[in-house]
Amino acid sequence: MNPELGQVALILALLLSGLQCVLPIIGAWRGNKPLMATAGSLAIGQFVFVALAFGILMWSFWTNDFSVAYVAQNSNLSLPWFYKLSAVWGAHEGSLLLWMLILNLWTVALVVLGGKLPEAFFSRVIGVLGFVAFGFLLYMITTSNPFLRLFPVPANGADLNPVLQDPGLVFHPPTLYMGYVGFSVAFAFAIASLLGGELKSTWVRWARPWTNVAWGFLTLGIVAGSAWAYYELGWGGWWFWDPVENASFMPWLIGAALIHAQAITDKRDGLRAWTLLLSIFAFAFSLLGTFLVRSGLLTSVHAFAFAPARGVFILVYLAVVVGGSLLLYAMRAPKVTGGKSFALASRETLMVIGNLMLTVACAMVLLGTLYPLVGEALNIGRISVGPPYFGPLFLILMTPLVLALPFGPLSRWGKADLKVWRTALIRIVALAVVAGIIGFVVGARGWYQLLGITAATWVMSGVAMFAIKRWREAPRGKRYPFEMLGMMLAHFGIGVFIAGAILTRSMSVEQDVSMKPGANVDVGAYDFHFNGVTETRGPNYRAQQGTVVITRNGKQIVTLHPQKRTYSGGQVQTEAAIQAGVFRDLYVSLGDAIGDGAWSLRVYDKPFVRWIWGGGVFMMLGGFVVVLDKRFRLKRAVEPETVHVKLEPEAPRKLAEGET
């Protein structure tokens, strides 16, 4: 197929998105039904053309069409087919196209599932999404066209960056973008409500499932990225406070705050203004993330060569979207805000504390991430801010949140009984102390390990007590509605994550060693025996492959084969070999030949490292499960002006069911 067709498809999509932005909003403003009715078809039309462009680019990769510059730069004849296809989003231009496609998927999902929203509101939502799409398509066409031709046509491509030749590339960018872009829906709902001057906050209930699903995907994307970095970057870390990780973490923090703020607004009609603001910021941080990654302004593992035009465009776009939204907010918010207040001792207060800590943490991450840029702009010098800044501060900010977390679900809306808090506190402390003692008896040593065990128990026992409370107090069949189940899963996931993060850090044994063939080294309770290095081959690389036999008490556990690959383009890539387990990972990665037949090796014993990602998976499931709640399967509203609404995001629902 002709790549120029892809270009034409993108231009057509741009035109449609321009119309999608203008017509439905004018229609909603004028009360013009035919204009409003264009929303759905324009969105679907745009999707068709973007999907066509995406398909054409994929086809160009599949058929090794190296006359397309993007394909020539990121593919190779000997590249395995699944990497050829995922190479579509392996670099700048294609990943923007993926971003666009996912935005269209969300919009179409909204058209299909949100058809029963009030017509004017629905038109505004689709119009706002059209505006977002217009900006991105314009950006792609003017600065990042993936269909540019190359002449003369090279006989072979330059190959995909070896770091990206990994299953991680297949999952990480699409899921991450599903999350990033998913926040555009909550954003569009918020802007539409401001545009329409909705006095009621019913829109929040409609927005909640979308926010939860987007956050679930974002969690999954971050987990996938973290796991990928762990085994691919070759030194076994799982979080580096790299600017690009921060870029994905900031919308995650705001998204988590938004989920809770939306729940308060939906159920108690409080915090209306705050929910609006968070809806704007969740998406603003998604855009900022895209900007930070794509502009190449920051030094990071993801940084691409600097392209000023691209950076400036996104910066302007960001300014328009965020500035415009905040302006609209300032103009309209006084009209829509208000709502109920609540007692100091209530579930709301605890949720507000959580919100506060999450947003402050986000501000802290933002400060540390942008500080080097500020330093450069002010000519203070070239500064870097690393883990010593982020780590301790994040810990300090999250401590109150973790401490308060078990009490939120246990207390009542509006006004809580202090006696309930006291009983809960006594029980949770008791459980945490018992867990600490058990941990000590089993063999946990050092205050850090004990801290990990008690903190995780603290959170999980809150979830358990909530489950027991519901079991006792609620009638059969109504004990665990999906909304609560999602909350319990996510909170439980936080407990699992805490255990993983702290125990991995305190119990890991990590050694960089030099070994000659036949040598042994003890790592924790394990014995690593090095059997030397042999040559081997893959489809598009040569590799030096080490053989390491791991035994414990003389019993052989596993034989690992870490590799040092040299790809056809000359790039070198270390592939760590990992024996993964629920309770520990054994990790070997090959360094260099360092003379006298010896090799340098990294040999690690990393207990509980899987719990870090396991916790993330629980949080993701929590986000997905909430969507199934009856609350969001809206019945006919009582008030005449709120028309019957039905919101059943089917796809995520199936996903969630499939995974529980």
Partner 1 sequence: MNPVRKRRLIITLLIMGAVAVATGLSVFALQRNMTYLYSPSEVDAGKAPDGHAFRLGGIVKEGSVHRVSGTLTTDFVITDRFQSIPVTYTGILPDLFRVGQSTITTGTMDNGTFVAKTVLAKHDATYMPPQVAQAIAKAKQEHRIPPDAGHGGSQ
Binding to partner 1 by residue 368, rule CB under 8 A? yes
Q: Which of 148, 320, 343, 418 binds partner 1 (CB under 8 A)?
A: 343
Site string for partner 1, 209-248 (x = CB under 8 A): -------------------------xx-------------
Ramachandran sector of residue 541 (left: φ over 0; alpha: ψ -120 to 50; beta: rest): beta
132-191 residues in contact with partner 1 (CB under 8 A) are: 161-163
Distance CA 157, CA 63 (A): 12
Locate all alpha helices (DSSP H) within 411-519, ordered by sequence.
Answer: 418-442, 447-473, 482-507
CB of 356 to partner 1, least distance (A): 6
Shorter beta-carbon distance to partner 1: residue 11 or 303: 303
Residue type, 153: V
CA 627 vs CA 50, 178, 251: distances in Å:
28, 16, 20
Shorter beta-carbon distance to partner 1: residue 246 or 589: 589
CB of 589 to partner 1, least distance (A): 8
CB atoms within 10 A of CB 32: 16
Q: Give the CB-side neighbour count of residue 578, counting CA atoms within 13 A.
A: 21
Binding to partner 1 by residue 341, rule CB under 8 A? yes
Binding to partner 1 by residue 440, rule CB under 8 A? no
- Positive or negative, the CA dihedral 219, 220, 222, 226 is positive
CB of 415 to partner 1, least distance (A): 11
Shorter beta-carbon distance to partner 1: residue 131 or 394: 394
Query: Three-class SS of residue 253?
Result: helix
Of 22-30, 38-46, 116-124, 566-574, the window that binds partner 1 (rule: CB under 8 A) is: 566-574
Distance CA 149, CA 71 (A): 10
Binding to partner 1 by residue 600, rule CB under 8 A? yes
Binding to partner 1 by residue 326, rule CB under 8 A? no
Nearest C-alpha neighbor of 365 from the set 213, 250, 277, 260: 250
Binding to partner 1 by residue 522, rule CB under 8 A? no
Binding to partner 1 by residue 115, rule CB under 8 A? no
Q: Which of 77, 330, 425, 594 binds partner 1 (CB under 8 A)?
A: 594
Non-local CB neighbours of 453 within 8 Å, separated by 6+ positions: 435, 436, 439, 444, 499, 503
Q: The tokens of 500 are what? A: 């993983």
Binding to partner 1 by residue 520, rule CB under 8 A? no
Binding to partner 1 by residue 519, rule CB under 8 A? no
CB of 455 to partner 1, least distance (A): 20
Binding to partner 1 by residue 397, rule CB under 8 A? yes
**Secondary structure E strands in 56-197:** none
Supply φ then ψ for residue 567, to 5 degrees.
-80, 165
- Virtual torsion, Cα 94, 100, 102, 103, nearest 10 deg: 160
Is there a contact between 23 and 35 (Cβ–Cβ < 8 Å)?
yes
Binding to partner 1 by residue 309, rule CB under 8 A? no
Binding to partner 1 by residue 352, rule CB under 8 A? yes
CA 379 vs CA 306, 382, 445: distances in Å:
19, 8, 47
Q: Which of 527, 592, 629, 648 binds partner 1 (CB under 8 A)?
A: 592
Q: Which of 152, 419, 477, 596 binds partner 1 (CB under 8 A)?
A: 596
Query: What is the maximum span of the chain, computed from C-alpha positions, in angstroms?
Result: 85
Binding to partner 1 by residue 11, rule CB under 8 A? no
Nearest C-alpha neighbor of 487 from the set 473, 507, 470: 470
Binding to partner 1 by residue 388, rule CB under 8 A? yes
Binding to partner 1 by residue 399, rule CB under 8 A? no
Binding to partner 1 by residue 371, rule CB under 8 A? yes
Binding to partner 1 by residue 570, rule CB under 8 A? yes
Contacting positions for partner 1 (CB under 8 A): 161-163, 234-235, 296-297, 299, 301, 303-306, 341, 343-344, 349, 352, 356-357, 360, 363-364, 367-368, 371, 375, 381-386, 388-389, 392-393, 396-397, 512-514, 564, 570-574, 589, 591-592, 594-596, 598, 600-602
